Amino acid sequence: MDTTTNPRTDRFDAATVGLGVTVGLALVGLLLLLVASASGGPDWPFGLYLLVAAVGVLGYLLVAFRDHRRRREALVAAEETRHQIEVGLVAALDEIRAGDLVSSSRKAQNLPHVLQEAFVAAADAINALAQQIQNSSIDVASAANSVNQIASELASGSSEQAASVVEITAAMEELARTAAQIADNASTQADLTAQAEASGTVGSDAVDEAVQGVEEVKKRISGIATRADTLGTRSKEIYRVLDLITDIAQETHILSLNAAIEAAAAGDHGRRFSVVAEEVRRLAQRSQESVDSVRNLLDEFTSSIRATVVATEEGSKEAARVLERARAAAAAIDELKSASSDTARVAKEISLATQQQNAASDQVVLTLKEVSQVVQRMADSLKQFSSTADQLNELGLAIQLVAQSFNLDSPHSLKRLAGKWAAEVRKRFGSWEAIEALLSELLADNGFVELAYVMDSSGSQLAITVNEQVAGDRELPQKIKNGEGLTERPWFRGVMREGRTIITPVYESLLSGEPCFTVAAPVKSEDETIIGVMGVDVNVDSWTKI
C-alpha cells in the first residue's frame, strides 16, 4: 500500500490557509469595524466586511470538508495497512516464538520494507546467536563427554592407586616385621660367632700340637723304613750268596753223580771212589739242605722285613694323610676363625642396619598410610568430580537440546534436517516402497538415527526402518512394528497440533535401551495441510559424538 501521501501535511496546508484567511479577514474586519466605529464613518465597510467574511468562511468550510474526507479515507487505508503489518509481524514473531527462524524470515517478507529489514536483521541476529549456541552446545557436550571420560579414568586410576598403596603398605609392614626378626637373628648370630671364634682358637692350638706329633711319628717311620730298606738290601746280598752256594751245591751234586757214574764204569776199582762220590753227594745235599734252611729263614726274615717295610710305608702314607688332614683342619680352623670374625662383624653391622631399617620402615609405613588417606580423599574427590562431570554431560545435552529447539538454517539443526526429510517424504507420499527406501538412505547417511518412521495424519504407520548397527541383536517390540498407539505419542500430537517439528525430551529407547529423543516433523502438502508425520529416534550417545 502506497503511503506516500501525508494527509496530515495536506490537512495542514488547506486548513491552515483557510484558517489563516479566516482569521485574517476577521482581524481586518475587526479593525475596520473599530475604525469605523471610531470615526463614525459609514456602515457600508461593515457590510462589506461581513460579506467578505461570509465568503471566506464558506470557502474555508468547503476546503475543510474536502480535506476532512480525504483524511478520513487515508486513515482507513492506514488502518488497513497497519492491520496487515500487525498480522504479518505477529506471524513472523510467532515463528520466532516457535523457534523457527527460517520460517520467521519468510513470514516477514510481507512487512513494510523498513520493518522487514529491521525484522530480518533481528531474526538474523537471533539466528546467528542460536547457531552459535548450537555450535557451542555441541562443543560443550563434547567437552563434557571428554571430561566425563577423563573423570571416569581418573576415578578408576585413583581407585587402583589406592589399592596399590594398600598393598604396598601391607608389604612394607611385613618388611618391617621381617627386618625386626633379622635384627634379632643377627644379634644372636653375632653372639654365636663370638663363641665359635673362641672355640676355633682352642681347636687351632690342638691341631697344631697334633700336627707336630704326626710329623714326629712320620720322622720315626721314615727312620724305620730306611733301616728296613738296609735290611732288605742285606737280604738280597745274602740271597745272592745263597744262590751261589746253591749253584755250587748243585754243581757238587752233579759232580758227585758223575763221579758215581765214573766209579760204576770203573767197576771194582771205582768202588772206593763211588763211596767218596756218595759222600760228596751227601755233602752237597746237606749243603743244599742248609742253604734251603737258611733260605727259608731268610725268606721269613725277608717277609718280615717286607711286611715291616710295607707297614712303614703304609704308616708313612697314613701319617702323611693324617698330616695333610691335620694341616687342612688347621687351615680350615684358621679360615673358620677368620670367617667367624667376619661373620660376627657382619652380624653386628646387619643388626645395626636392620635396626635402622626398622625405623625407616616404620616411617615409610606411616608415610604410606598418609598417602593412602590422601589417595582415598583424591578418589572421593574424583568420584564427586565424576558426578559433576556427569551433571555437566547432562547439562551439555540439555543445552544441545535447547539449542535444537530452534529451526536454523544450519547443518547442525535437527529441525532443519527433519524438515528437509519430511519434504522428501512428501514427494514420495503414497508409495511406501519409495518411503522405505528413503528412510534406509537416511539411516545409512546418519548413523545417530536409531529408527525412522512415517505415518499418515490419522496415525497409521506407513513405513518404519531400523538402524541395524544400533539395534544389533535386539528386536523391535511388536507393538512398535505394528504402529500401535502412535496417535497417543506426545510428539505425534504436538506435530498435528502445532504443525511444526517437535523434539522430545530424552527417554530410554525401546530398541537400544539407551538414551534417545525423537525428532518429529510434519509432512505437508502444497497447501500446507498436514498429510503425515515423519519421525526419527536419535541415539544421544551417537549424536553427541559427531
Partner 1 sequence: MTTSRGESAEDRYLLIQAGEEECMLPLDRVRRIVRDLQVIPLPGAAQELKGLAEFGGEPLPVLDFSRLIGATPGAEPAYPVTVIAWAGPAESRELVGLQIDGAVEVVTIPTDAIVPGGEGIVRGDVSFRDRPVRVISLAALGGGG
| Binding residues vs partner 1 (CB under 8 A) | 250-251, 253-254, 257-258, 260-261, 264-265, 267-268, 271, 274, 278, 281
**What is the closest distance, in whole angstroms, from the C-beta atom of residue 299 to partner 1 in the complex?**
15
Q: What share of the chain is helix, strand, coil (3-state, %, to 5)?
A: 80, 5, 10
Query: Quick one: 278 or 390, whose CB is closer to partner 1?
Result: 278
Query: Quick one: 6 or 258, whose CB is closer to partner 1?
Result: 258
Where would I find the beta strands (DSSP E) of 121-184?
none
Angle, to 10 degrees, between the axis of helix 432-445 and the axis of helix 414-428? 150
**What is the closest distance, in whole angstroms, from the C-beta atom of residue 292 to partner 1 in the complex?**
11
Three-class SS of residue 34? Answer: helix
**What is the closest distance, in whole angstroms, from the C-beta atom of residue 265 to partner 1 in the complex?**
8
Which residues are paired to 454 by β-bridges? 463, 534
Instruction: Measure the CA–CA gap between 160 and 433, rounded to whole angstroms.
Output: 55
Query: Quick one: 166 or 257, whose CB is closer to partner 1?
Result: 257
Q: First-to-last CA distance in the chain?
A: 49
Query: Quick one: 278 or 456, whose CB is closer to partner 1?
Result: 278
Query: Quick one: 27 or 254, whose CB is closer to partner 1?
Result: 254
Query: What's the chain's Rg over C-alpha atoms?
Result: 70
**What is the closest distance, in whole angstroms, from the C-beta atom of residue 253 to partner 1 in the complex?**
8
Looking only at the bridges linking them, the beta strands covering 507-508 and 461-466 are: unpaired
Looking only at the bridges linking them, the beta strands covering 515-524 and 507-508 are: antiparallel
Instruction: Measure the CA–CA gap between 162 and 173, rounded to whole angstroms.
Output: 16
Query: Quick one: 38 or 265, whose CB is closer to partner 1?
Result: 265
**What is the closest distance, in whole angstroms, from the C-beta atom of residue 254 to partner 1 in the complex?**
5
Angle, to 10 degrees, between the axis of helix 113-266 and the axis of helix 271-404? 180
Instruction: Measure the CA–CA gap between 217 and 201, rounded to whole angstroms.
Output: 25
**What is the closest distance, in whole angstroms, from the C-beta atom of residue 224 to partner 1 in the complex?**
35
Query: Quick one: 267 or 472, whose CB is closer to partner 1?
Result: 267
Instruction: Measure the CA–CA gap between 191 and 193, rounded to whole angstroms.
Output: 6
Query: Quick one: 114 or 265, whose CB is closer to partner 1?
Result: 265
**What is the closest distance, in whole angstroms, from the C-beta atom of residue 257 to partner 1 in the complex?**
5
**What is the closest distance, in whole angstroms, from the C-beta atom of residue 294 to partner 1 in the complex?**
16
* Per-residue cell: 222: 721314615
Query: Quick one: 239 or 429, whose CB is closer to partner 1?
Result: 239
**What is the closest distance, in whole angstroms, from the C-beta atom of residue 302 to partner 1 in the complex?**
19
> According to the 3-state scheme, what is the secondary structure of 268-292?
HHHHHHHHHHHHHHHHHHHHHHHHH
Q: Which amino acid is at 378?
A: M
Query: Quick one: 215 or 278, whose CB is closer to partner 1?
Result: 278
**What is the closest distance, in whole angstroms, from the C-beta atom of residue 304 to partner 1 in the complex?**
24
447 Rama sector, left if φ>0, alpha if ψ -120 to 50, beta otherwise: alpha
**What is the closest distance, in whole angstroms, from the C-beta atom of residue 258 to partner 1 in the complex?**
6
Instruction: Measure the CA–CA gap between 260 and 273, rounded to whole angstroms.
Output: 7
Cβ count near 263 (within 10 Å): 19
Q: How far is CA 431 from CA 116, 366, 427, 462, 481, in A?
A: 41, 78, 10, 9, 18
Query: Quick one: 54 or 264, whose CB is closer to partner 1?
Result: 264
Q: How far is CA 293 from CA 179, 204, 242, 287, in A?
A: 86, 56, 10, 10
